[in-house]
Structure 1
Amino acid sequence: MPATELPVPDCHFAIDLGASGGRVIAGRIEAGRLELETIHRFANNPVFVQSTMQWDTLGLWREILHGLTLAAAQCKEQGSMIRSVGVDTWGVDYVLLGRDNQPVAPVFHYRDSRNRGIPEQAFQIVPREDIFAATGLQFMDINTLYQLLSAKFSNAPALETAESMILMADYFHWLLTGKRSVEYTNASTTQLLNPNTKDWAFDLIERFELPKKLFGPISQPGVTLGPVQDSVAQQTGLENVPVVLPATHDTGSAVLAVPAEDFAPENPDWCYISSGTWSLMGCELANPLINDRCAELNFTNEGGVQGSTRLLKNIGGLWVFQQIRAALERKGEAVSWESMVAEADQAEPFGLVIDPDHNDFLAPKDMVDAIVQFADKSGQTKPANNGVLYRAALEGLALRYRVCLQMLESLTGNPIKTIYVVGGGSLNELLCQMTADACQRVVVAGPGEATATGNVLMQMIGCGVLQSVEEARKLVRESIQPKVFQPQNKEAWDQAADAFEKYAG
């Protein structure tokens, strides 16, 4: 007798947009495991228009349509049903739409220079303490609040002509469906959301005299926004496919993919690091934590799935490591990520101590030159070779994690036993071991594709394929083989931590 053919599993499409690139990924459950397949990958390069830095939103939309077309054709060829599609992006950036459903202003990049110095002007209108009490969010120039105030202070006409503000993922959901929405996890990055009511902080918005009409109703992850509109269906083949909101903030999706055994515990004994160009290190809580100590340490309360809170801190992440490579390549020295890690592993430990969050390393013209200059002015030995540079970038990041861990434990009042590292940085085994050593905690690394994984999982929850976050995380644990790193070399890292405190920014 012929073997019984198993049904082809349904597909969910995750559109995962990062600050430097995007992907269209197909996710499905096969034989009890979550499988992801990258269908289309593309660059996301900012565009410089006169003196401004902007996003190429139409270029991204063109790539998304192309990727969805490829994905739809492949799934149909395989006989797979397409259950849903959803978009995640970075936070804080937005699009202003007018009455004609078209953007009324450029879509500015969060690194655009217009944001510099705006928080200090904002504090003259509303004290810093009041802003934190209303939003629980950390203070960064890039926050949506300061971008909008920059437009207001420059008398930009778009604030008056716009009918609504939608964030980046919402913009692409609008292009997909024709329906406007503001998803909760990304709204929580604006510094204009009340984390207790989970609605806009309208009192704060009024004090800053920002147009209230811009701030539409907020939707939660898992909500079905509607089907792909006809014009998109005709181009891509996605007929009658619903758009289901994931946690549209990429970190929100990444945290959903953490392979922990619980969800938003009352007394968390684990924390996460979403590791990439930025590192987001924090705990998942049931409720926001807004107090003077949290404000003093500049931690942030961002929205998570199913009403949870991500108490976290932004850390410079692998930015320094990546920019060392970029600086060398500009000088004609091509190096691979693998060779950089190998040379770092062979370099002498703690030959140079740097802090990835030091102001000298935020946006230098040349990262190698910046590190050499920092070594000179801080009285340290200048790096003798590239391996010293690479190792310093990784060790400094691990030591910054150590400081952040101590802060987290003081805020939550609970000892952290395990650190889950997800995202691209989880693939860097040297960094993971350094993190275990610096923090003297067990590190569990994986999944590497955390954001796309979380995007697909939330779509599955919204479609009823999965019933809960706990079930989703169980699926992650059964689908990956995380690597576990045990802490070592305590005395050496304790000494390095003392030096780090001296050189920290």
Structure 2
Amino acid sequence: MKKVLAFDMGATSIRGIVGYVENGQFCTKEVMRMSHKIQNKEGRLYWDFDAIAKKIEETILENPDVSAIGIDTWGVDFGLIDKEGNLLEAPHSYRDEKFAEGREEARALLDEFELFQNSGNQIMTINTVYQLLSLKKFDGEIYDKADKILMMPDLLFYLLTGEKIGEESIWSTTGLYDLSKKQVSEQLFEKLKLKRELVPEIVRAGERKGNTKNSKLESLRSLSIDVIPVLGHDTASALLMVEQEKDSLFLSCGTWSLIGTSVEDAKVSREVYEKNLTNELSYKSETLFFKNITGLYLLEKYKAELEERLGRKIPFQEITDFVKKEAESKALLDMDAEVFGREGIAVKKEIDAFLLSHGGTVPKEDFSYFTLIYDSMVEKYREVKEDIEHILGRNFTKLHMIGGGARSEVLAKKIAKKLKVKVKAGPYESSAFGNILLLLLQEKEVGSIGEGRKLIYAASEVKDYS
């Protein structure tokens, strides 16, 4: 029996989970959980990469009996390595508002629709392409010194193995990868005047192995643990838990909501661009077609704001009990509005301003804002479902909900009712489980993705709503 260690990194917390198969059962043990916050330095937003790397190093040293390690993270963010192999600065957070100027730089060089056609990615200010253009404009010295751009999971892979690679699923979030050709877009690098040599060797999940004996961290070199590039993008990793069916949508519901389906080829028509849908890659270069929407981020931000005002912690069950009893909100928020994804948002103030500017009324009770956020999320899911159905000429009668939001019975029931679909909710730890599944597959502890998925389902809570 081999044990594997998955690092599943979200925008607010990181988990280390050991997984293995024993007596035909899927087993896991959480060995690390760490909250982390975006750092504000002179008006710019960075991840606390040193703290993240230190915690990962400590966790590996505490679990030297594992045979393989995998890392998945959120998309779009990266670090830059110089020719000597040094990280030039801590990675910026995608919530840094300076990236809006990178988007303006791109517009001056290239029509946005042409950029979309050459990448297939939803046009969002957070995209790697805009981050890179912003860096070139504001931190030209760092840009000039850079030898390789490493996406967040690849940066940690490099730290643990000394190898510079780019895993395909995480690169498919950059806005610089041609999803139709499934390769780096030479045209975009040329037209946007970016250094093509920054791109490392692109590999598929599971194609390569590194080892801690070659780590950049001295303490890990005495170990000999394989490090495998799993699906580096947490969404792609999570969706290994979903059995793709013609009449079923997926919904990965966490800080972000991602709702869509799998398709044979990237969709890059004018209509797809105008609806602001996206294409990304999953296991074995499968194309995912969906939309990124601000998800539970807004609810979590409002919850923290209200807790501070009330001077107490608010259990999620208390929120659920209130929302269950309250009527559906009449005036709704546009979850696509960029203001609702900002790091320093004053949530109640911005929600009130949005409602009043759109002819709505402000909720009278504090907890009614939770109902409003849930209902606004569900309405956006409904809109996206209709857009995807129209573009693909398909009718979706089922939806498989994964991630932390799948724990919410009230949210799942609202989705089933509003979207007129049967909802399957779970597993909840889907990103980590997808990571572990690929590691176990590489270690020959499971025979196939399907076999491993069945074992995980049997060991997980999965609920159905109609």
TM-score range normalised by the length of the shorter chain: over 0.9
**Any stretches of 5+ residues in structure 2 without a counterpart?**
none
Q: Deviations over 1:380-400 (max 9, x none)?
A: 343121231111111111111
The reply to whether residue 427 of structure 1 matches residue 419 of structure 2 is: no
Which residue of structure 2 aligns with residue 28 of structure 1?
A: 20
The SS at the match of 1:113 is coil
The reply to whether residue 345 of structure 1 matches residue 329 of structure 2 is: no
Q: Given the superposition, is the C-alpha separation of residues 36 and 347 from structure 1 closer, same or farther in structure 2, using an over 3 Å criterion?
A: same
Is the 1:360–1:374 Cα contact (8 Å) retained in structure 2? no
Counterparts of residues 29-178 of structure 1 (less than 5 Å): 29-72=21-64, 76=65, 82-154=66-138, 156-178=140-162
Which residue of structure 1 aligns with residue 165 of structure 2?
A: 181
Shift of 1:294: 1.4
Which residue of structure 1 aligns with residue 234 of structure 2?
A: 250
Which residue of structure 2 aligns with residue 304 of structure 1?
A: 282
The SS at the match of 2:87 is coil
Distance 1:444 1:238 in 2: 45
The SS at the match of 1:331 is helix
Letter in 2 for 1:64: I
Shift of 1:178: 0.8
Q: Deviations over 1:167-220 (max 9, x none)?
A: 110111111111111000000111101123322101210111111110121010
The SS at the match of 2:324 is helix
Shift of 1:10: 1.8
Q: How many residues align?
A: 464
Q: Given the superposition, is the C-alpha separation of residues 297 and 467 from structure 1 closer, same or farther in structure 2, using an over 3 Å criterion?
A: farther
Distance 2:433 2:363 in 1: 39
Q: State TM-score, norm by structure 2.
A: 0.94
The reply to whether residue 449 of structure 1 matches residue 429 of structure 2 is: yes
Which residue of structure 2 aligns with residue 489 of structure 1?
A: none
Q: Deviations over 1:321-375 (max 9, x none)?
A: 1121121123243222221222212223325533323345333632122223333
Is the 2:72–2:233 Cα contact (8 Å) retained in structure 1? yes
Which residue of structure 2 aligns with residue 474 of structure 1?
A: 454
Distance 1:212 1:355 in 2: 37
Please, which of 378, 384, 395 is the counterpart of residue 364 of structure 2? 384
Please, which of 315, 318, 322 is the counterpart of residue 300 of structure 2? 322
216-225 vs 417-426, greater mean Cα deviation = 216-225
Which residue of structure 1 aligns with residue 2 of structure 2?
A: 10
Q: Deviations over 1:21-41 (max 9, x none)?
A: 111110112333322221011
Letter in 1 for 2:3: C
Percent of paired sites with the same residue: 27
The SS at the match of 1:229 is helix
Which residue of structure 2 aligns with residue 223 of structure 1?
A: 207
The SS at the match of 1:246 is coil
Distance 1:359 1:170 in 2: 28
Letter in 2 for 1:278: W
- Aligned-CA RMSD value: 2.0
Q: Given the superposition, is the C-alpha separation of residues 374 and 163 from structure 1 closer, same or farther in structure 2, using an over 3 Å criterion?
A: closer
Is the 1:347–1:387 Cα contact (8 Å) retained in structure 2? no
The SS at the match of 2:31 is strand
Which residue of structure 2 aligns with residue 410 of structure 1?
A: 390
Distance 1:350 1:391 in 2: 7
Is the 1:132–1:138 Cα contact (8 Å) retained in structure 2? yes
**Any stretches of 5+ residues in structure 1 without a counterpart?**
1-8, 77-81, 487-505
